[in-house]
């Protein structure tokens, strides 16, 4: 709780140091965290970037900030250059799995030793996606993991990180780049990360078709996958599927037959 309160006090002061009534964007710089902490006499964590990371990906902003968003909008924190950020009002900030979507059972191919020693929700999720070829199944493309935790500098955004980058090829020989953002049970899948992934693909892989993917644990063996696209209104969900990893004997012939009649 103390940790949470420290972070809230710092981000709140940074916001209101710059905010003017009616603003849709509120810029700030990372260096302000140290200045504000000294003013408030708050001890900073060793990794001061964790404060920004927390409100971008894990926790909701303080209520005083939330209430200043324009009607029907939410604040998101976007990168704005090297060590620069800005609060921006958006139609929605986070993506949540549907509560009524049907599940697809997939025989679990995750090695037992991986299940035993996975160190975090995010790492466990990425491993399960990789060993069960869920990106291939979801997209219908043959995919290969290119790099995990790909860090790169993108013009106008500064340094960004993608949890895992896949490349793929379809039956016509078309090549794809597929960035994946993975979130555990208690983390948030935010539109800012998807926007960054799209920018990364445009900057580093301009000749490939980009298919940004989001992944979220619903439970330990139930995974939601989202495919996103950029529209005139911003990021939208093009497709969502839920995959439950099961032992082979938990997948009946009746269920297999029922999958044949499913529509896309």
Tens of pLDDT, residue by residue, the chain (264 residues): 445 789 999 999 999 999 999 999 999 999 999 999 999 999 888 888 889 888 887 788 999 999 999 888 889 998 888 888 999 988 777 788 999 999 999 999 999 999 888 877 888 999 999 999 999 999 999 999 999 988 888 876 777 889 999 999 999 999 999 999 999 887 888 888 898 899 999 999 999 999 999 999 999 899 999 999 988 777 889 999 999 999 999 999 999 999 998 876
- Quick check: 159 and 152 in contact, CB under 8 A? yes
User: Helix or strand or coil: residue 7?
Assistant: helix
pLDDT of the residue at 82: 82
One domain for residues 114 and 207: yes
- Quick check: 24 and 88 in contact, CB under 8 A? yes
Inside any domain, residue 60: yes
Closest by CA to 81, choosing from 11, 154, 24, is 154
**Alpha helix locations (H) across 44-176?**
49-53, 63-66, 112-117, 121-131, 134-139
pLDDT of the residue at 1: 42
pLDDT of the residue at 3: 56
Spatial distance between the Cα atoms of 183 and 195, rounded to a whole number of angstroms: 16
One domain for residues 113 and 71: no
One domain for residues 28 and 110: no
Inside any domain, residue 97: no
One domain for residues 44 and 163: no
Inside any domain, residue 147: yes
Which residue segment(s) compose the domain that 188 sits in? Answer: 103-260
Inside any domain, residue 20: yes
Number of H helices, E strands in the chain: 9, 13
Q: What are the angstrom distances between the C-alpha of 3 and each of 33, 48, 153, 238?
A: 15, 12, 30, 37
- Quick check: 206 and 217 in contact, CB under 8 A? no
Q: Which of 67, 91, 115 is the last residue of a domain?
A: 91
CA trace torsion 243, 179, 226, 83 (10° rounding)? 130
| Domain count across the chain | 2
Q: Which of 66, 91, 116 is the last residue of a domain?
A: 91
């Amino acid at each position: 709780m103390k940790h949470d309160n420290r972070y809230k006090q710092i981000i709140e002061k940074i916001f209101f140091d710059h905010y003017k009534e009616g603003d849709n964007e509120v810029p700030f710089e990372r260096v302000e965290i140290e200045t504000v902490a000294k003013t408030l006499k708050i001890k900073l964590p060793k990794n001061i970037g964790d404060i920004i990371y927390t409100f971008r990906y894990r926790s909701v902003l303080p209520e005083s900030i939330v209430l200043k968003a324009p009607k029907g909008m939410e604040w998101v924190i976007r990168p704005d250059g090297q060590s620069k950020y800005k609060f921006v009002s958006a139609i929605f900030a986070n993506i949540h799995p549907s509560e009524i979507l049907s599940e697809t059972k997939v025989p679990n191919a995750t090695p037992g030793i991986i299940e035993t020693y996975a160190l975090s929700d995010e790492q466990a999720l990425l491993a399960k996606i990789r060993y069960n070829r869920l990106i291939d199944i979801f997209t219908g493309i043959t995919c290969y993991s290119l790099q995990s935790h790909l860090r790169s500098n993108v013009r106008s955004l500064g340094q960004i990180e993608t949890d895992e980058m896949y490349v793929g090829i379809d039956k016509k020989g078309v090549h794809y780049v597929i960035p994946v953002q993975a979130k555990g049970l208690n983390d948030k899948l935010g539109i800012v990360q998807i926007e960054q992934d799209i920018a990364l693909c445009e900057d580093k892989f301009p000749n490939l078709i980009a298919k940004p993917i989001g992944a979220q644990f619903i439970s330990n063996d139930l995974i939601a996958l989202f495919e996103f696209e950029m529209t005139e209104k911003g990021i939208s969900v093009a497709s969502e599927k839920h995959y439950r990893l099961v032992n082979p004997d938990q997948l009946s012939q009746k269920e297999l037959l029922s999958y044949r009649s499913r529509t896309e």
